[in-house]
Structure 1
Amino acid sequence: MGSPPAGPYHRRKGLIGGGGTYAAIGARIWLPPTEIGMMVDRGHDFPASIEANLLEYGPEMWIFRDQPDRLTTRALNSYKGDHRNFQYITPRIRITPKDLASTRIPRPRMLHFICSPTRASTIMSEVRAVQDWYPTTIYEPIPDRCVPEELPALIEVLPSISILSPNAEEALSLLSIPLPPTRASIEEAADRFLQYGVGHERKGWIIVRSGEMGAFVKSLKSEGRWVDAFWTASADDAGRIVDVTGAGNSFLGGLAAGLLLTNDVLKATFYASASASFIVEQEGLPRLSRDKQGHLLWNGDLPQRRLDALVTRHGN
């Protein structure tokens, strides 16, 4: 479920939601459905229209688990001005790495998860318990736990994380850096996280997702680099940004796909930015179609065209 900002208050029911869903779609923009896996708990009230919508993106990517004695997990994104509030309105079911063991993706190469730092530690303990599984881990801290009190738990799990990616407000909040974010304060936050030790032997990356400012990408062994958002605040882009719900999640799904295709974090960030551009153009998920040559179009456009345009914009 989700709803975008429109005027002082806006509410709409019945949209497909969930950070994992948007991340999966962000990856699907670049990869065939057989390369993606997301577990979906299907309660007895799971809407047939939503299932049909998901299947349009490729039935292979969805791993349905029937829960006949439960309601489908639902939540509410509500906006008042620029402030977003999120709350579950039915009980949620947590998914852990152990749940993947009996699926077609028992040991995926990329693992994206959204949770508290303490739960991230539990997830990484389960990953380490699986023999010969060394996934690239993309950790997105859950927004309501991005507070200074959670910083010690985050520092504890950072050595197990390949890529840490909070948004700008979350990064600054964790570190008690004053808001609103600026490029300078975002770069300061990234440096501090890296000094805390992201990744095994401090070889991890920080990507701070910063809305219309773009994304700041850095590791201890690379200079920081800003990658533009595809749609910006320019007059030419006016009206293209309709609803930012799920944009950050789809960014990280696109990042995972880009990493599989390029094995390069900076290059993958361009894929991530292009993925997010399709999510913000409407409420809910982007629409699919095909051109006369049979190429898959997202919102009537080719993802590769947007990727090429973004790379060209950077002079690469």
Structure 2
Amino acid sequence: MDLVTFTVIIDDIVYPDGHTCMACLGGGGPQTAFGAKIWADDANNIGIASGIGSDFPCPCKRWLEDMGIDLSGLLMWSSPTLRAWQILELDGLRTQVWRITMGDEVLDMLRPPLSSLPMMYRELVSSGNIFSSNEKEAASLVGPGSPMEMIERIAELGAEVVTLRRGPFGSIVHRSDTRETWEIPAFHAICAPQKSSLQGKNMMEKVVDPTGCGNTFCGAFAMGWWKTRDLLTAGLWGSIAASFMAEYEGVPPPPLSNWRKQAQ
């Protein structure tokens, strides 16, 4: 297995104008896998590890199969599939409200104690190379500041590569050893990437639903970094993949070949 993603959620999305999109496939697993699959070779094996219930919608499973994602880690459990309202506001705020009862089985999956993990998994957690967060998450970890100030603080904690996701303002990617830094516009921004610069206007075009764009960026960035070890290439791959996710309610439809062709 070349890349494993985690967590499947069924999203019931409420948009700012009040219309809804029910039973959408969501969660970090499918969204991250989609970003990675766009840039992966056919020989690359990308899978999902998550628990699902007997209520898991057939169209959602079919999407995973059609995208060529390995489902051997998709395990049936006695609890319902994780499901949540995703309430979107005009200012970009998203509120998640769980629609299921949080039993012990669900809580154990979402917040497993470190002591319960096998030693090999604990070692894996401490050997990460890339740290990716949005601005709100970064501020909660290292305190508020400018994007570059937060990136520098994260790098000082030991992250080899830092990606700071900034929604409609794109992302900033940083390599600690060389201090190489790029601002990557959102794909809808009509401008070139600016090296070590935080300036430039972003123009939103066809943004339908931003849900999952950050996860999609992460999957594509990880694949780009693994295949090329080039910071700018990985950042651009992430931005392009995220733009595809933004253009659809829920996840973009198959076939995967269409998205690979558009990405080139």
Higher strand share: 2
Question: Does 2:155 align with 1:194?
Answer: yes
1:51 partner SS: helix
Preserved CA contact (<8 Å) 2:216 2:238: yes
- In structure 1, give the amino acid aligned to 2:144: I
Equivalence for 1:309 = none
Question: Does 2:234 align with 1:268?
Answer: yes
Q: How many residues align?
A: 239
Question: Does 2:263 align with 1:303?
Answer: yes
Equivalence for 2:197 = none
Q: Give matches, 1:220-231, under 5 Å.
A: 220-221=176-177, 222-231=179-188
Deviation at 1:301, TM superposition (A): 4.8
Q: Give matches, 1:197-212, under 5 Å.
A: 197-199=157-159, 204-212=160-168
Equivalence for 1:130 = 120
User: Superposition RMSD on alpha carbons, in Å?
Assistant: 3.3
1:5-61 CA distances to partner (integer Å, 9 max, x unpaired)? 433x45432111112221111111112385101023231222222212221111535
1:13 partner SS: strand
Equivalence for 2:174 = 218
1:171-211 CA distances to partner (integer Å, 9 max, x unpaired)? 23444426xxxxxx10111112222x224xxxx12110112
Deviation at 1:134, TM superposition (A): 7.5
**For residues 161 and 81 of structure 2, what CA distance do their matches in structure 1 show?**
35
Q: Which ranges of structure 2 fall in alignment gaps of 5 or more residues?
A: 1-10, 192-200
Preserved CA contact (<8 Å) 1:212 1:233: no
What TM-score results when the alignment is normalised by the length of structure 2? 0.76
Deviation at 1:86, TM superposition (A): 1.1
**For residues 12 and 258 of structure 1, what CA distance do their matches in structure 2 show?**
31
Greater RCO (CA < 8 Å, at least 6 residues apart): 2
1:164 partner SS: strand
**For residues 51 and 43 of structure 2, what CA distance do their matches in structure 1 show?**
18
Equivalence for 2:66 = 56
**For residues 266 and 170 of structure 1, what CA distance do their matches in structure 2 show?**
23
**For residues 240 and 253 of structure 1, what CA distance do their matches in structure 2 show?**
21
Preserved CA contact (<8 Å) 2:33 2:69: no
Q: Give matches, 1:39-188, under 5 Å.
A: 39-58=49-68, 60-61=70-71, 63-67=73-77, 69-82=78-91, 83-90=93-100, 91=102, 93=106, 122=114, 126=117, 129-130=119-120, 160-177=127-144, 185-188=146-149
Deviation at 1:233, TM superposition (A): 7.5
Q: Which of residues 233, 247, 259 in structure 2 aligns to 1:281?
A: 247
Deviation at 1:95, TM superposition (A): 8.0
Preserved CA contact (<8 Å) 2:23 2:57: no
Equivalence for 1:142 = none
Name the % identity. Answer: 28
**For residues 177 and 237 of structure 1, what CA distance do their matches in structure 2 show?**
26
**For residues 43 and 49 of structure 2, what CA distance do their matches in structure 1 show?**
13
Preserved CA contact (<8 Å) 2:171 2:183: yes
1:245 partner SS: coil
CA 1:63/1:95 → structure 2, altered by over 3 Å: closer, same or farther? Answer: farther
**For residues 204 and 176 of structure 2, what CA distance do their matches in structure 1 show?**
37
**For residues 176 and 203 of structure 2, what CA distance do their matches in structure 1 show?**
34
Equivalence for 1:242 = 208
Q: Which ranges of structure 1 fall in alignment gaps of 5 or more residues?
A: 97-114, 138-158, 179-184, 291-295, 305-316
**For residues 174 and 218 of structure 2, what CA distance do their matches in structure 1 show?**
15
